Structure formats: structure tokens, C-alpha cells
Amino acid sequence: MYKRIIPCLDVKDGRVVKGINFKNLKDAGDPIELAKVYSHEGADELIFLDISASYEKRKTTIDTIKKIAQNITIPFIVGGGISNISDIEMFLDAGADKVSIGTAALKNPNLIKEASLKYGKNRIVIGIDAKRKNKTTWEVYVCGGRAGAGINAIDWAKQVEALGAGEILLTSMDNDGKKEGYDIDLVKSISEAVTIPVIASGGAGKLEDFRDAFIKGGANAALAASLFHYGLLRIRDVKEYLSDQGVEVKL
């Protein structure tokens, strides 16, 4: 099975932004233009996250989602502010191939089961933002990383799989934006705890980090944002490197 490289558009007020540990956000460009570039460059999928939607209780910009969907030829995951089935339907109707649910799934775990039964598990991604508590434990955070949920990330990953999630988008809050590498211990712990695909997110800084996420962490996909937005690495370069390292990717 091919390992996937996924650029992520963190969107706030209609612009792509990037920060460190979910804070100090800086502008990184126009979401529609960046989406076109990544689709053309050979990204395997694209993720669009309205990073302030859950907190500010507003919906992701539907018009932007529609325009992106019309301009790309790769699978498209949308998240941010999803609180019920009608939100999911709205995003899928707007052109999303999958939806990513975070805060709402913790508040109402039955939403995972309901969505999975209605749309198929392959369209339901559960976002888990995790912060390290000690060497082997991570706590789940909600509302764009603003509040601890008091739940063990490994336990929650197992639960979302049992409820019908098709995939997990796993973000290390400790490593996010630092470009010092993914939290491989976290990625490995979650990947070994579930059988569904895990997308590693938070901390990519160099080519070797992608290799480690796959070979050491057991991830099925690796997400990066600022590395790609600011041209520090190209998707093609990452894939060619991984192929040379024996990781099976779609060139």
C-alpha cells in the first residue's frame, strides 16, 4: 500500500496560516492557489482545516471549499467546526471527499458511528490533537488545542476505531510547527493500537522526518504544512527521497 504525502491548509479568516504549537500564526498564502499547486505537484491528498471554527462556533467557508474542489484532482479532506451530521453533509456536498471531526467526536462519540453508517467509514477521519504527559502517555486536546479533554490519546484512538472511524489524523501539539520531526513515539503508539490508517502530523522539518514517520512510526500518511507553503521542500523531492529509501510512494 502506497504511503501518502498530504499538505495541510490551516485556514483562518480565509487565509492559510501557520504557527508553532498552534500559536503565533503567520500568513502563508491563498488556499485556492496553494491547493492548485499541491494538486499539480503530486500530493496524494489535501487537508483543509478551519482552525478557529470550533472555538469561534462558526462554519468553515463553504465557498472556498467548493472552489478548491473544482480546482484539484486529488482527494480532499475538510475539517473545522463540524458538530453534527448536517455539517458533514454540507461539506461532502461542497466537494469534500472526506471530513475530519475532532472536538464534536469527543463531545458526542455516537456521531462517529452515525456518520460512518451513513457515509461509509472511508469518508470519516477523526482528528486527534495530543499533548505529551509523560514518556508513554498523551492527553487529547480539543477546540483547536485550547483545552485538555482528560482522555488518554491511545484509549481514544482505539475507541474511535471501534465506533467506525476510517482514519485518524494524529497531531503532536508538542512538535507542531517546530520542524524538529514528528513525535515518533506517539505515532508508533497510536499506529500499533489501531488497524485503521494513521496520518502523522506536527513537526516535519526535513526529508528524514517523513521516512521516520513511515519506517519507525508505522504511519500510513505524513502531513506537512509550512515546509511546503514556504517552499522549503517540494512534494516531488519528498517522494523521490522516500522511494530511494525503500518507502513505497506514488511517483
Query: Looking at the annotation, which residues are catalytic?
Result: 10, 129
- Residues paired with residue 228 on neighbouring β-strands, in sequence order: none
Asked if residues 149 and 142 have their Cβ atoms less than 8 Å apart, the reply is yes
**62 half-sphere exposure, CB direction, 13 A CA radius:** 11
Segment (H or E) for 163: helix 153-163
Q: Cβ neighbours of residue 12 under 8 Å, at least 6 residues apart? A: 25, 50, 51, 52
**187 half-sphere exposure, CB direction, 13 A CA radius:** 32
Asked if residues 28 and 230 have their Cβ atoms less than 8 Å apart, the reply is yes
Report the C-alpha gap between 122 and 144 in whole angstroms.
Answer: 24
DSSP E strands, 58-197? 76-79, 98-101, 124-134, 137-142, 147-152, 167-172
Report the C-alpha gap between 131 and 138 in whole angstroms.
Answer: 5
Expressed in angstroms, the distance from the first to the final Cα of the chain is 13
Report the C-alpha gap between 117 and 215 in whole angstroms.
Answer: 33
